[in-house]
Chains A and B, each alone.
Chain A
Amino acid sequence: MSRISPLFEQLRTDKRTALIPYITAGDPTPGATVDIMHALVAGGADAIELGVPFSDPMADGPVIAAAHERALVHHVGLRHVLGMVQVFRQSNQHTPIILMGYQNPIEAMGIAVFAERAQAAGVDGVLTVDLPPEEANTAAGIYAAVQIDPIFLIAPTTHADRIRIIAKLATGFVYYVSLKGVTGAQNLDTQALAERVRAIRQDCSLPVGVGFGIRDAPTAAAVGQVADAVIIGSALVRIIAELGQGDPATLQQKVQAFMTEIRSALDRS
């Protein structure tokens, strides 16, 4: 079993909501990523979503797409990302890591080779944005064999019959995309969100994480009322974009402080 299900078990016992930040590996530099990951955990992150840079991040908005471009300046690819996870694991064995990215880099390595290397490096889940369940049978089987959870997206447009298909393939948790649109979009309707999450739970017994459109402590707290996990991406990546050129220690402090702020908002609510 990966680290993901035990984490959600523990959180349920503790009556806490998981905080899962997203960063793009290699942004602003390959050397900075592992330190940022540790800072995220120090600030209260329960798991980390680590973006694998891709030349064509179609489902990402301008903020995260720019992070991919910054990482690609340093030619950060899947092999390097697995190396970063391995280094992170030398001093952290408990925080689940979910790789988030696109299918082509995985296929270029070979799905089976990737699964084996990812498992050896200490990866817990893989979310492939452009691999809906219809295309994911082979990959999901390969990941299951090495105890890596295939994480799937559920969208506002996803009907109940598809949620059931997703529920059959998914393990670990499901990721509800709270908005139509790309990552980094704005307008979140928490009322509608609550209804959607309730509907998802009818067809899927896995924990439900919610992402897209959560940008600060108040939105995180509101989402935390209904979700098992709150996923923060663009808001965090924006901080990295602003401070990435400066002193790495300052960047780590800021990232940690941002996590702490969200964490306490979640724990208060």
Chain B
Amino acid sequence: MKAPMRDANTFNFAQFPDAHGRFGEFGGKYVAETLMEPIQELQDAYAHFRSDPEFVREFETDLRDYVGRPSAMYFAARMSEAYGTQIWFKREDLNHTGAHKINNAIGQALLAKRLGKTRIIAETGAGQHGVATATVAARLGLECVIYMGAEDIERQQPNVFRMKLLGATVVSVESGTRTLKDALNEAMRDWVTNVDNTFYIIGTVAGPHPYPQMVRDFQSVIGTEARAQLLEKTGRLPDAVVACVGGGSNAIGIFHAFLNDERVALYGAEAGGDGIETGRHAAPLSAGRPGVLHGMRTYLMEDDDGQIIGTHSISAGLDYPGVGPEHSWLKDLGRVTYDGITDDEAMSAFHDVMRFEGIIPALESSHAVAYAKKLASLYGKDKIILVNLSGRGDKDINTVAKLEGITL
């Protein structure tokens, strides 16, 4: 890949995407004609409300009183000791509903309300975004339909039940690979058919413009808080920020406030599955190539015919063959380094977080911790690594038990 030119002194990451929704060659609006008008409507509405003081105030109030923000910044003392460098956790696991996903769900639901939509739909992989969406829909009294791959429904039973308790209808998606990408296809089909009364809350920084920008904006509260908290607690910026990357929303959320801090190294942990070399993984940035899917140009996992290939990860939330377009751009610019973390590495980090810190991390977030462990071996005691603990792992205990041959 050609490396686009960038002058670190004048380049401002906050100015992207451009008016066409592009981050360099990535992003855009690759959707069927029927969706162009609704997407334009959404884009106009978002452009209006993002600078509407009343909207911003309501969003911030909800984040504070309902989600419980700001989320804590925690020094992981025993883990730091063991890993040989200073590890800090941004505690998105402490949010209401247990992950960062709620930040975005609240923002989009407020938009849906202002657009007068009465029905909310969403796709979900791990079920965290589905739970977050069902939660905000319940709170606003809106009808809610969640699309979820049949395979994910099997491995994330607790979250399926939570969504149902919240009043959502969970639709099992049997097409394709029966995981997140197929759930997204199905949600898009629903949206085209019901555009008049339906708002589609996409759960990550993917999809056609304006979703990657909008979701990033709603999630960037993570990094804005983290930067200020760390400055206050340590008097300086971190040496590295690490986050897991599925679609990429928690990662963009924490990276964004640091993008213009050239001395802060940024790392994205993709799902390496059985190992990048085996082909059984979900790491498009590490092993894919640019293409077009789900309304965006971005790095994808595909075969020679351009068919999207099946992915594998221990963690349902990372099991996606694409990635948000801004990440593709940040990769090509060389601003963020992405690498695959295997299932085994993530499992080992999962246990570390539990035993050193008494926190059950999501399997997704465990990928970020595993990446931090690798970096720590290159760093010394005076370095600071900030890890985004994107969610809690209660939803994953069945998966972990099964992997370890334990029947609950």
Taking a contact as CB atoms under 8 Å apart, the answer to whether A130 and B175 are in contact is no
Given contacts A55-B307, A134-B20, A177-B33, A157 and B292 within 8 Å (CB-CB):
no
State which of A75, A105, A131, A185 has its C-beta within 8 Å of the C-beta of B306: A105
Cβ of A104 < 8 Å from any Cβ of B? yes
**A-contact bits for B290-325, CB 8 A (1 contact / 0 none):** 111111000010101111110000000000000000
**Interchain CB contact (< 8 A) of A131 among B30, B195, B196:** B30
B189 near A61: Cβ-Cβ < 8 Å = yes
Beta-carbon contact of B32 and A153 below 8 Å: yes
Instruction: Identify which of residues 43-98 in chain A touch chain B, using a CB-to-CB cut-off of 8 Å.
Output: 53-59, 61-62, 65, 69, 72, 75, 77-79
What residues on A are CB-neighbors of B32 within 8 Å?
Answer: 58-59, 129-130, 132, 153, 155, 177
Complex Cα spacing A108 to B303, Å: 9
B224 in the interface, Cβ–Cβ < 8 Å? no
A158-B293 contact in complex given A59-B32, A105-B305, A105-B306, C-beta closer than 8 Å: no
* A19 within 8 A of partner (CB): no
Pick the contact of B308 from A61, A104, A156 — CB < 8 Å?
A104
B36 touches A182 (CB 8 A): no
B16-36 interface code vs A (CB 8 A; 1 in, 0 out)? 000010000000111111101
- List CB contacts (< 8 Å) of A155-212 with chain B: 155-159, 162, 177, 180-182, 185
Q: What 1/0 mask marks residues of chain B from 30 to 59 whose CB sits below 8 Å from any chain A CB? A: 111110111000000000000000000000
Is B256 engaged at the interface, CB distance under 8 Å to the other chain? no
Tell me if A220 counts as interface (CB < 8 A to partner B): no
CB distance from A30 to the nearest CB of B (A): 13
Bound-complex Cα distance A53 to B307 (A): 9
| Interfacial chain B residues near A61, Cβ < 8 Å | 189
Interface presence of A106 (CB below 8 A): yes
Least CB distance from B304 to A in Å reads 7
Shortest C-beta distance, B205 to chain A (Å), equals 18
- Closest beta carbon of chain A to B196's beta carbon, Å: 8
Interface string of B187-203 (1 = CB under 8 A from A): 01100111110000000
B193 & A78 in contact (Cβ 8 Å cutoff): no
Q: Distance (Å) between the CB of A205 and the closest chain B CB?
A: 19
Would you call B305 and A182 a contact (CB within 8 A)? no
A78 vs B302: C-alpha distance in the bound complex, in angstroms? 14
Option from A104, A105, A153, A181 in Cβ contact (under 8 Å) with B193: A181
In the complex, A54 Cα to B185 Cα: how many Å?
12
Q: Which residue of chain A lies nearest to B30 when distances are taken between CB atoms in the complex?
A: A130
Interface centre among A156, A157, A158, A159 (most CB of B within 10 A): A157
Instruction: Tell me, yes or no, whether A120 is within 8 Å of chain B by CB.
Output: no
Minimum Cβ distance to chain A for residue B42 (Å): 13
Which residues on A sit within 8 Å (CB–CB) of B185?
A: 56-58
Complex Cα spacing A126 to B308, Å? 21
The answer to whether B30 and A154 have CB atoms under 8 Å apart is: no
Query: Does A9 belong to the interface (CB within 8 Å)?
Result: no
B294 touching A58, Cβ below 8 Å: yes
Question: Known: A69-B175, A107-B291, A180-B193. Is A75-B305 also a contact (CB below 8 A)?
Answer: yes
Q: Do A158 and B37 contact each other (CB < 8 Å), given the known contacts A130-B31, A132-B31, A134-B20?
A: yes
Chain B neighbourhood of A177, CB < 8 A = 32-34
Contact (Cβ within 8 A) A130 B295 = yes
CA distance A102 to B188 in the complex (A): 15
CA distance A156 to B176 in the complex (A): 29
Residues of A within 8 A of B327 (CB): none
A152 within 8 Å of B by Cβ? yes
Rounded to whole angstroms, the CA-CA distance of A182 and B188 in the bound complex is 9
Interface residue? A135 (CB, 8 A): yes
Query: Does A103 sit at the interface, judged by CB under 8 A?
Result: yes
Q: Point out the residues of chain B lying under 8 angstroms from A152, CB to CB.
A: 33
Q: A55-B307, A132-B31, A135-B29 are in contact. Are A104 and B291 (CB under 8 A)?
A: yes
A79 touches B33 (CB 8 A): no
* Additional pairs, 18, CB under 8 Å, beyond known A130-B292, A135-B30: A53-B307, A56-B185, A59-B189, A77-B306, A105-B305, A107-B306, A108-B291, A108-B302, A134-B28, A134-B29, A134-B36, A154-B33, A155-B34, A177-B32, A177-B34, A180-B193, A181-B189, A182-B189
Please give the residue numbers on chain A whose beta carbons come within 8 Å of chain B beta carbons, in ascending order: 53-59, 61-62, 65, 69, 72, 75, 77-79, 102-109, 129-132, 134-135, 152-159, 162, 177, 180-182, 185
